[in-house]
A and B are shown apart, each in its own frame.
Chain A
Amino acid sequence: GAGVSQSPRYKVAKRGQDVALRCDPISGHVSLFWYQQALGQGPEFLTYFQNEAQLDKSGLPSDRFFAERPEGSVSTLKIQRTQQEDSAVYLCASSLDGQTPQHFGDGTRLSIL
């Protein structure tokens, strides 16, 4: 596609439910990143893929957060047993390789009730 596509655009879940957020990167982009943006803050790094390999997951806040990119294209960020502090905008970015500009999707706004 022309840009990074994320779905859903908005997600509301009850505390304790599991959620799955999808990212479809720019075609041909090897690198894929997930970021979390809390209200009024800048985005913060969660995890990084090069093709299907998850090379850095140092930013994942707990073991309830899990990401995958099984075929080196589409990625899914899964949050298990959601908590209120998980409410944030989740942004996905892709780049041609790890050293070129990152391009962001419109994000998924997650609200945990």
Chain B
Amino acid sequence: GIQVEQSPPDLILQEGANSTLRCNFSDSVNNLQWFHQNPWGQLINLFYIPSGTKQNGRLSATTVATERYSLLYISSSQTTDSGVYFCAVVWAGTALIFGKGTTLSVSS
């Protein structure tokens, strides 16, 4: 089956810093989503981005489907950005296949 690898596994930042999270996948995909799971366990949609670039406030994402990777950029990080960031792809069928996540801790 497809492999979805996220890096880094853990990231510690000071408030105001910028960061880049990466998602590599081993085969062509039909769909890619980025999620933020907050400390209360809620899984929040960030981007639906099978290809191209999107921006939403301090967050942006780029997927290069031909090279099988996606990047999530967080600028001017805030403590509320803390949590786990998941990349998930649809490969065969309709189910999302998740990576193991990047755990982000932002301190003030």
Contact = CB atoms under 8 A, between A and B. Distances in A.
Interface stretch (B14-22, B61-69, B70-78, B97-105): B97-105
A44 interface: yes
A56 B95 contact: yes
Contacts of A109: 41
Contacts of A91: 43
Interface in A57-113: 59, 89, 91, 93, 98-104, 106-107, 109
Nearest to A59: B95
B41 A101 contact: no
Interface in A36-51: 41-45, 48
Nearest to A98: B94
A31 interface: yes
Contacts of B31: 99, 101
Interface of B is mostly: strand
A43 B93 contact: no
B30 interface: yes
A100 to B, nearest CB: 8
Given A101-B45, A109-B41, A48 B100 contact: no
B42 interface: yes
Interface centre among A31, A42, A43, A45 (most CB of B within 10 A): A42
A45 B41 contact: no
Given A42-B86, A42-B101, A102 B41 contact: no
A78 B32 CA distance: 29
26 contacts: A31-B94, A33-B94, A33-B96, A42-B86, A42-B98, A42-B100, A42-B101, A43-B43, A45-B95, A45-B96, A45-B97, A48-B95, A56-B94, A59-B95, A89-B41, A98-B94, A99-B30, A99-B31, A101-B33, A101-B48, A102-B33, A102-B96, A104-B35, A104-B45, A106-B41, A106-B42
